[in-house]
Amino acid sequence: MTSYALVTGASSGIGRELARLLAKDGNNVVLVARRKAELEVLARELESTYRVIARVVPCDLGDAAARDALLAAVADVDVDILVNNAGFGSNGKFWENDAVREVGMVELNVTALTDLTRRLLPAMVLRGRGRVLNIGSTAGFQPGPWMTTYYATKAFVNSFTQALAYELRGTGVTATVSCPGPVATEFSSIAGNDKSALFKKSGGVAEPAAIAHEAYQAMLQGKPMIVHGARNKLAASASKVSPVALTTAIAASLNRRIS
């Protein structure tokens, strides 16, 4: 069967840039997101520029039945690369945030990622080749008041991927987690944290193309984790030795809206 890379959250930001990198290297791609129109524009771009096959599969990954339909749609191909990029966040007091949205965040950021990985990984291992790239975050290195659920979901993604990478040793399949800090995508405005100190004062907001390039190279090299940027690497290292109360307070000050 023909080999494909499946990219979730491919309609914008890091996911779109990763799809471009994969196609540039000659990979056929399955583009997954809720917004069909944006996916179709990207598919036409990739097919005309790189002469690959780009399939568009609109899907609300937070819905289990929709995930079933997605996997049925790609049952006729070998998915040798899985990029779990789709996700969203929120900002505010947990108990005041929309309850459906908070639970939906766990369903997308954690459950969908776990489900797709579990269902596509066995065939990769059987073939003796494959790569899984999960988009985690530096948010996963400490608790994050005002973005409580989001930080917790990224803690799961970071931990899950590193453990999976260990289990996969010797199989021919690798797992990599990309851990960016704040990135200049629509994610921040949708989450509401574009008005936080993290985005307004940190001075470390990265471009999605740069994050995608580093994540892609780490995936190709089979690295379990890539933390983007010297400042983020320093903060990640500090979080391992600093008291949790301190790292939590710092995260709270960065996540609080200032306008």
Helix axes 148-167, 113-127, angle to 10 degrees: 10
Say yes or no to pLDDT of 191 above 60: no
Instruction: Indicate the pTM of the whole model.
Output: 0.89
Measured CA to CA, the distance from residue 177 to residue 113 in angstroms comes to: 12
Report the pLDDT value the prediction gives residue 142, as an integer from 0 to 100: 92
CATH number of the domain to which 64 belongs:
3.40.50.720
**Residue 156 domain boundaries:** 3-255
Report the pLDDT value the prediction gives residue 249, as an integer from 0 to 100: 74
Report the pLDDT value the prediction gives residue 159, as an integer from 0 to 100: 98
Task: Give the active site residue among 4, 150, 151, 216.
Answer: 150
The encoded tokens of residue 51 equal 């002469």
Say yes or no to pLDDT of 177 above 70: yes
Number of domains the chain contains: 1
Report residue 192's pLDDT band, with 50, 70 and 90 as the boundaries. Answer: low
Instruction: Report CA torsion sign: 220, 136, 18, 181.
Output: negative
Place of tokens 């965040």: 105
Q: Which amino acid is at 155?
A: A
Measured CA to CA, the distance from residue 42 to residue 32 in angstroms comes to: 11
pLDDT tens, 75-129? 999 999 999 999 999 999 999 999 999 999 999 999 999 999 999 999 999 999 9
The encoded tokens of residue 166 equal 């260990």
Q: Which has the minimum average pLDDT: 30-44, 58-72, 206-220, 230-244?
A: 230-244
Report the pLDDT value the prediction gives residue 80, as an integer from 0 to 100: 98
Report the pLDDT value the prediction gives residue 16, as an integer from 0 to 100: 98
Annotated catalytic residue 150? yes
Report residue 197's pLDDT band, with 50, 70 and 90 as the boundaries. Answer: low
Report the pLDDT value the prediction gives residue 258, as an integer from 0 to 100: 58
- The pairing of beta strand 3-8 with beta strand 28-33: parallel
Report the pLDDT value the prediction gives residue 186, as an integer from 0 to 100: 58
DSSP states of 83-143? EE-------S-TTTS-HHHHHHHHIIIIIIHHHHHHHHHHHHHHHT-EEEEEE--GGGGS-
Say yes or no to pLDDT of 1 above 90: no
Report the pLDDT value the prediction gives residue 235, as an integer from 0 to 100: 74
